[in-house]
A and B are shown apart, each in its own frame.
Chain A
Amino acid sequence: MFYVIKRILATIPVMVVVALFVFCIIRLGPGDPASVIAGDYATAEDIQEIRIKLGLADPIPVQMGKWFVQLASGDLGKSYHSNMQVTKLISQRLEPTLLLAATTIILTILVAVPLGTLAAYKAGSWVDKFVMVFSVAGFSIPVFVLGYILVYIFAMELRWLPVQGYRSPFDDSFLQFVKHITMPAVTLSVIYIALISRMTRASVVEVLNEDYVRTARAKGQSEFKILLRHALPNAAVPIVTVLGISIALMIGGVVVTESVYNIPGLGRLVLDAVLSRDYGVIQGLILFFSFIYIFINLLIDLSYTLIDPRIRY
């Protein structure tokens, strides 16, 4: 418990550093939000007026100070374009992204862990080689290429699934949700399945050589239960670690996948905000993502204590 509180408190300085970085990097990049908002035919005075209104005319340290004061009260700021609260924007777009990510992770675990374990158990056989070839292919294919191939096959030729879009399971039927989420989730999960099945294989191969696996055989235990009860729990720590990293990396994949399938999630929000130089939204979103990232890492670290009783903080 002491450890959990310590870890949560430790996220505060991390968030401050992230905020600092975000603030500086955005302003170092080219482009001016005021001129984007003003449009192509605006005069210099118009642009300056918008700048003053948005607070962009203030000296940089003053802008930073204002932003930090805002953050301290839990306010992520406003969009420069729509004038909406960033927190509101996020909450509007959160559901599709969250459900896409969750479906992807579940799909990844369900496919990758059994696949990797099977490859490890049959190490050196054709099953193993097949899984590894699949894994290399999964690593190499970009999300947008795979996305369009799947759309071509399943949406345009076979007409089994819709081409694009998103249906909420809460507003629409669950079946519609599944139909719409399947292809994006498959597209996004392929690379993680490749990564995690490889990791699982390596980890389980190592564990299968351990003495306690031999002990389990000496007890007369069946091979299936040896894998399930002895090998996998001991192989879990590295697998969970990579899973944690994958979830963090997924933020990038979500942006591309949401664009390919036209899903109104956070990924689209990021893309739009970057294209229109909407500093307020970009800052808010990056902070939000980094918070998620830190939170997931904390969960992963805490899960170690459940997986392996030898690990104590």
Chain B
Amino acid sequence: MVLKIENLTVKLPKGADREFAIEDVSLNVDKGEIVCVVGESGSGKSVTAFTIMGLIPRKELTPTAGKILLEGEDLLTKDNAEMRKFRGSRIGMIFQEPMTALNPVMKVGKQIEELLTIHTKHNEQERKKIILEAMDAVKLPDPSKIFNTYPHQLSGGQRQRIMIAMALVLEPNLLIADEPTTALDVTTQAEVLALVKEIQRIKGMGVLFITHDFGVVADIADRVVVMQNGLVVEEGSRDKILHSPEHPYTQMLINSVPSLDPPDRSMENVQDTKVVQMSSVHKTYGSLGIFGRGRTVKAVQDVSLDLHGGELVGIVGESGSGKSTLARCLVRLIDPTDGGIMINGKDISTLSRSHLRPQRNEFQIVFQDPYRSLNPRRTIEQSLIEGPMNFGMGRTEAVAKAREVLEIVGISPDAMGRFPHQFSGGQRQRICIARAVVMEPKLIVADEAVSALDVSVQRQVLDLFLDIRQRFGMAMLFITHDLRVAAQVCDRVVVMQHGKVVEQGKTTDVYNNPQHPYTKELLAAAPGRDVKFNQL
């Protein structure tokens, strides 16, 4: 037994929404075992991980009961100086976002070396040798060159490999991984998951793996612990949790995960009229400058795409594929460098700002982060009526319209006088959708609109999008990195890579019979392929 947590309770500060961050949590990690802790935001899974490391502010989050036994020693009885000897040497930790978890102004080799200078007495040559071996073990190309690079010079996957090398260089018996692949692209995620699994097999350490993603659970877990509101609700082997969950919460979570198999679609919603016609749109950032020394980035290259009324088209791709840039060009938040964009028969690609403004009600956008896309100082009512009133609607009429749409998105119209912070993330995203819908647009662009939401909420918001589409018959462009989401809601998908469209077609065709190698690679990398999740 590497780690044994017994009845751990951590108290929240006064004024929080509940008394305990985690309550009566017990879990074990054996040698050579990967234990996944899954749960939605606020479930207490990260608090559990950070309490083990002693990285929580004890004044705010106070452990009040229980034991954390690392190979028999109770970590809760250690003071800070003693805990420092455990951190890094006997417990390694990797974090969610490798870009911010690495010091940006220190060479990565030096950052790994820090561990050796803190915990060992090796001399400089020995240290360097150990670091290069550790880098080699995580399959970083050319370790002696990477030793002297800064984090920003590496790719996301390479940075996370550095983090892993760092966590494992002293060969701890316990590795805590806090959502280590959430910030990575799907193909990189697959590589990192495989790497963690392989190293774990070789070194035989215990891994506590925190995640919200059941696909990842399916790929990596030996055992699964499900948490909700600070409590462990269910625990069991991977197969048991994924295939025959007992607790209703676990069942609900697993049922909410969208399946990678697209359902058969009737296409009855799709009208004949073309709402959007994009012809060879280009967007280049930067300029060469007068000396020709500047750098340019071709974010979008030669993209042509049509959307019919009532059609829901998905654009999938990894970060840097240009999918968001394309969405922003389409609604003219940024100006395309070249190409034509017809919306409802009018070319808006080169309209001046003053001519564009009267057209703005025809296309609306919903952003990723509902916490930042509503003005915190305006009530929901003010946010919702602003748009229609800008286009000449009277106040009473606009308020009536706002109430009607709020009802449709599932928010009580009586809550209209409240401010955004009084709503949950999912409710806020509904309000953002309502804000777009009150404009009665012909087109709604959803830029990663469900990516920041928990899986159960995500499911509801996806249902809402489909419902809105059916009711109002507008075209929707769905930008997402999540192949599962795209599979379930899109009539058609467009796959983008390096600013170009590499494949497009009916969702069922693309998923069941991908043509382009990159599409095949993407689909193969999606975690949890072998587990059947629900179709919408």
Contacts and interface: CB of A to CB of B under 8 A. Distances in A.
Contacts of A309: 104-105, 150, 152
A308 interface: yes
Interface centre among A212, A219, A309 (most CB of B within 10 A): A219
A218 B104 contact: no
Interface in B88-134: 88-89, 93, 95, 97, 100-106, 114-115, 118-119
Contact of B95 (A211, A220, A234, A310): A211
Interface string A3-34: 00000000000000000000000000000000
A307 B150 CA distance: 12
B102 A212 contact: yes
Contacts of A220: 84-89, 115, 118-119
Contact of A218 (B55, B103, B152): B55
B119 A215 contact: no
Contact of B102 (A215, A217, A222): A215
B87 A212 contact: no
Contact of A229 (B97, B106, B166): B106
Contact of B166 (A211, A219, A230, A234): A219
Contacts of B115: 219-220
A212 B101 contact: yes
Contact of A212 (B55, B85, B104): B104
Contacts, number: 71
Contacts of A308: 104-105
A217 B89 CA distance: 12
A233 interface: yes
Nearest to B50: A214
Interface size class on chain A is 20 to 34
B84 A221 contact: yes
Nearest to B54: A217
Contact of B100 (A210, A216, A217, A230): A210
Nearest to A234: B105
A217 B55 contact: yes
Contacts of B163: 215
A211 B53 CA distance: 15
A218 B119 contact: no
Nearest to B153: A309
Interface centre among A217, A229, A307 (most CB of B within 10 A): A217
Interface string A204-245: 000000111011111111100000011001100000000000
Given A211-B97, A212-B102, A233-B106, A219 B114 contact: yes
Interface string B62-103: 000000000000000000000011111100010101001111
Nearest to B293: A2
B87 A219 contact: yes
Contacts of A210: 100
Given A221-B118, A234-B104, A307-B105, A215 B95 contact: yes
Contact of A217 (B87, B103, B166): B87
Given A211-B97, A310-B152, A219 B88 contact: yes
A155 B30 CA distance: 73
Interface string B415-434: 00000000000000000000
A149 to B, nearest CB: 41
A162 B304 CA distance: 81
Contacts of A215: 93, 95, 101-103, 163, 166
A218 B53 contact: yes
Nearest to A311: B105
A216 B100 CA distance: 12
Contacts of B102: 212, 215
B114 A214 contact: no
Nearest 7 CB-CB pairings of A with B: A220-B87, A211-B100, A220-B88, A219-B88, A212-B103, A220-B84, A211-B101
21 contacts: A214-B95, A215-B101, A215-B102, A215-B103, A215-B163, A217-B87, A218-B55, A218-B87, A219-B87, A220-B86, A220-B88, A220-B118, A221-B84, A221-B88, A230-B106, A234-B103, A308-B104, A309-B104, A309-B105, A310-B105, A310-B152
Interface of B: 53, 55, 84-89, 93, 95, 97, 100-106, 114-115, 118-119, 150, 152, 163, 166
Interface of A: 210-212, 214-222, 229-230, 233-234, 307-310
Given A220-B84, A220-B85, 7 more contacts: A214-B55, A215-B166, A216-B114, A220-B89, A229-B106, A310-B104, A310-B150
